[in-house]
Structure 1
Amino acid sequence: MKKDKKILAKGVEAIVFGALEAECKCYFGYPITPQNDIPELMSRELPKRGGVFLQAESELAAINMILGACATGARAMTSSSSPGISLMCESFSYLAALEFPAVVVNVMRGGPGLGGIETSQGDYFQATKGSGHGDFRFLVLAPSNAQEAYELTAKAFELAEKYRNPVMVLLDAILGQMKEPLVLKKLKIKKYPPETWALTGAKGRNSRFFRSLFLDAEELKQHNLKLMKKYQSMQKEIRYEAKIEEGDMVLVVAFGSMARLANEAIEDLRNKGYQVGYFRPITLYPFPYKPLKEIVTQAKKPLKILVPEQNCGQMVEDVKLAVEGKAEVISLPYPPSVVPFPEDLKKEIKKCLNLSKSRKV
């Protein structure tokens, strides 16, 4: 890319442009709403850049094609939506066990089951707590606008290679399908050459192999301890956004599109003199426990924490773990397809502030 270019794009289109900026070479996927723009755009743009696009016969096939491509060190990506992601879960565990650097995009829809195609944040647990069997973790990035979707997707390829671990980009249907300005710009994405581990042919060197089956108990133990240390080292990748001032009485914690709605409500309230702050996790794993705890412990007044989510209450559990009982944490659930207006959030924030209902916002 020679110079910056400003366009109007959906969040899912920004995902594609970010992957292309990171020089993604392989995309394998299967259609499902609301992420279908990703394979459609990839099918047009990736071959132009010497990459490989293939629409698989199922999500199961797609994720195992990703596994094969990653074994060779290729930058590979797949995308799907909630039930499709569920079908991939077994192979997520294999990717982590084999230490393959895959990028997975989940544009969440309603659930459980087939649910509906409306927006949801119901896959938070699935993404952050282990979507398959065994002790493994995704590194999870949660953009809140098209620009972040572009930049974080590109960054996901770097992080996947750095840690040799699958990375998930998690967004919801609102962010995926909403159009907004996007600046396509050159990004500094570091590469970690796979020469020391990838299956690239054994001519001139010893052969290599991968496995996730360890029948010796001690060997399996050591493999898990090695992975655990890697997950612990991911703490240095924590990303978050915070707007907090001395004297704030309520802190709203939200991610993704809900964070955008909350931010609009908070900005309006702060302009009118209300003491309310804002905290947005960008990495959902590793979750920014320490920064959130520091905000609570350093506050001059006791804080109430409000956690609005487009689910029935999931991230709120991590918020409670972060504050360790040092602040009251209030869950504000909005089930799938129920999208609040900023005015709705203002009312809930006012309740937390114990302000008179008669005063208009």
Structure 2
Amino acid sequence: MAKKVLMKGSEAIGEAAIRANCKAFFGYPITPQTEVAAYMARKMPKMGRIFIQAESEVAAINMVYGAAGTGVRCMTSSSSPGISLKAEGISYIAAAELPCVIINIVRGGPGLGSIQPAQSDYFQATKGGGHGDFNMPVFAPASVQEMVDLIQDAFDVADIYRTPCMVMGDGMLGQMMEPVQFKEREQKQLPEKTWAATGLKGRKEHNVINSLYLEPDQLEKHNIHLQEKYADIKAKEARYELFNCEAERDLILVAYGTTARICENVIKTAGKEGIKLGLVRPITLWPFPVEAFEIIIDRAKHGLLSVEMNCGQMVEDVRLVTKGRKPVYFYGRSGGMVPDPTDVLNKVKLIVGGAK
């Protein structure tokens, strides 16, 4: 069994990507994920792999486009404003069906905001992430260990579906140190990259990587193809965890990432006061885990409470999937403020009774 090592989240991201056979990294420094790039700068050249600090976020994502087009595993990382700058390139990558991994260690916004942790990029990540009709799988780890595991999964999902994948943490996950185990992983049977632009290699025609369709009927045909792929991802790749949801609960919390860990503590404290709570933790934000809510909806006596580090984003998806069958409430902090367990519990008490 592999030993556990104590690592900062952002550095663990880099090591996980290297172990997932990432061959090229293109990035630009921005707090709170600069350590990802710093780690890759130290490690990648020594292994004969590519590290480039681009002149901007726009340059970095277009370098990813080029490298992904040759079929190599590649990655970029950034934080909120940097992801906004990469949005055009992410749309190009999705349209061209190129596999890659994008890391977003979210900071408070909007604008330059702060360098503190937040979850205010949920809409940006799950509702496309750029212009046009597209989606990308978005993984939301709740610990440094899970971040490591999901980065390796993201590379596989990217290759299977020929799509960009995002791993979205927050500034707290990026900066905290936790024990990490780099486990031996079963090698998945991945499709051969016969589409890659690597010269003729015995073919009669060159492979061409493109996202431009000037004829509307051809673009619509391509969009229909993409939507069929996204439907397949929805059917096969949604992930979630249910915590303490085995029977009827006074209220069921919904949270992801760091906030989900806070909610687990709230559940334990509430239990001592006779309040029964459960937790739905989406692990994929897109596709959103609809199945989880079908399982728990009848167990939520007073409804559901979405707890987020933003002004109310995931709560909209919770309301969509519950279809008005139970009340859906919201508690959030923004600007880099982290929810306090006591405040979350008081919100619970306001809903179920017994508030101080």
TM-score by shorter chain over 0.5: yes
CA distance in 2, matches of 1:350, 1:125: 29
Deviations 1:17-65 (A, max 9, x none): 2111111000000000000000000111122332111111100110000
Aligned to 1:25: 23
CA distance in 2, matches of 1:321, 1:189: 36
Deviation at 1:270, TM superposition (A): 2.4
- State whether residues 332 and 339 of structure 2, in contact with CA within 8 Å, keep that contact through their aligned partners in structure 1: no
- State whether residues 121 and 336 of structure 1, in contact with CA within 8 Å, keep that contact through their aligned partners in structure 2: no
Aligned to 2:40: 42
Deviation at 1:189, TM superposition (A): 4.5
CA distance in 2, matches of 1:272, 1:282: 29
Question: Relative to structure 1, is the Cα distance of residues 27 and 75 closer, same or farther in structure 2, using a 3 angstrom cutoff?
Answer: same
1:292 aligns with 2:300: no
Q: Which range moved further: 143-152 or 262-271? A: 262-271
Q: Which range moved further: 287-296 or 266-275? A: 266-275
Identity %: 47
CA distance in 2, matches of 1:194, 1:347: 53
- State whether residues 21 and 187 of structure 1, in contact with CA within 8 Å, keep that contact through their aligned partners in structure 2: no
- State whether residues 346 and 355 of structure 2, in contact with CA within 8 Å, keep that contact through their aligned partners in structure 1: no
Deviation at 1:217, TM superposition (A): 1.7
Aligned to 2:269: 268
Aligned to 2:101: 103
User: Is the partner of 1:190 in helix, strand or coil?
Assistant: coil
Deviation at 1:245, TM superposition (A): 2.9
What is the number of equivalent residue pairs in this alignment? 353
1:252 aligns with 2:253: yes
Q: Which range moved further: 47-56 or 253-262? A: 47-56
Deviation at 1:290, TM superposition (A): 2.6
Deviation at 1:124, TM superposition (A): 0.3
CA distance in 2, matches of 1:86, 1:76: 19
Corresponding letter in the other structure for 1:237:
E
Aligned to 1:127: 125
- State whether residues 127 and 135 of structure 2, in contact with CA within 8 Å, keep that contact through their aligned partners in structure 1: yes
In the TM superposition, 1:218-237 aligns within 5 A as 218-235=217-234, 236-237=236-237
Aligned to 1:183: 181
| Cα RMSD for the two superposed structures | 1.4
Aligned to 2:318: 319
Deviations 1:224-267 (A, max 9, x none): 00000100101211110102032212000001111111111112
Aligned to 1:335: 334
| 1:94 aligned residue (92, 95, 105) | 92
Question: Relative to structure 1, is the Cα distance of residues 305 and 173 closer, same or farther in structure 2, using a 3 angstrom cutoff?
Answer: same
Deviation at 1:180, TM superposition (A): 1.1
Unaligned runs of 5+ in 1: none
CA distance in 1, matches of 2:19, 2:125: 24
User: Is the partner of 1:88 in helix, strand or coil?
Assistant: helix
Aligned to 2:151: 153
Deviation at 1:272, TM superposition (A): 4.3
Unaligned runs of 5+ in 2: none
Deviation at 1:195, TM superposition (A): 3.6
Aligned to 2:240: 240
CA distance in 2, matches of 1:74, 1:106: 21
CA distance in 2, matches of 1:111, 1:51: 34
Deviation at 1:13, TM superposition (A): 1.7
Aligned to 2:2: 4
CA distance in 1, matches of 2:9, 2:187: 20
Question: Relative to structure 1, is the Cα distance of residues 189 and 59 closer, same or farther in structure 2, using a 3 angstrom cutoff?
Answer: farther
Aligned to 2:111: 113
Output the TM-score relative to the length of structure 2: 0.96
Corresponding letter in the other structure for 1:35:
Q
Output the TM-score relative to the length of structure 1: 0.95
Corresponding letter in the other structure for 1:99:
E
- State whether residues 24 and 72 of structure 2, in contact with CA within 8 Å, keep that contact through their aligned partners in structure 1: yes
CA distance in 1, matches of 2:21, 2:186: 12
CA distance in 1, matches of 2:141, 2:229: 23
CA distance in 1, matches of 2:143, 2:305: 22
Corresponding letter in the other structure for 1:104:
I
CA distance in 1, matches of 2:74, 2:355: 54
Deviations 1:162-182 (A, max 9, x none): 000000000100111011111
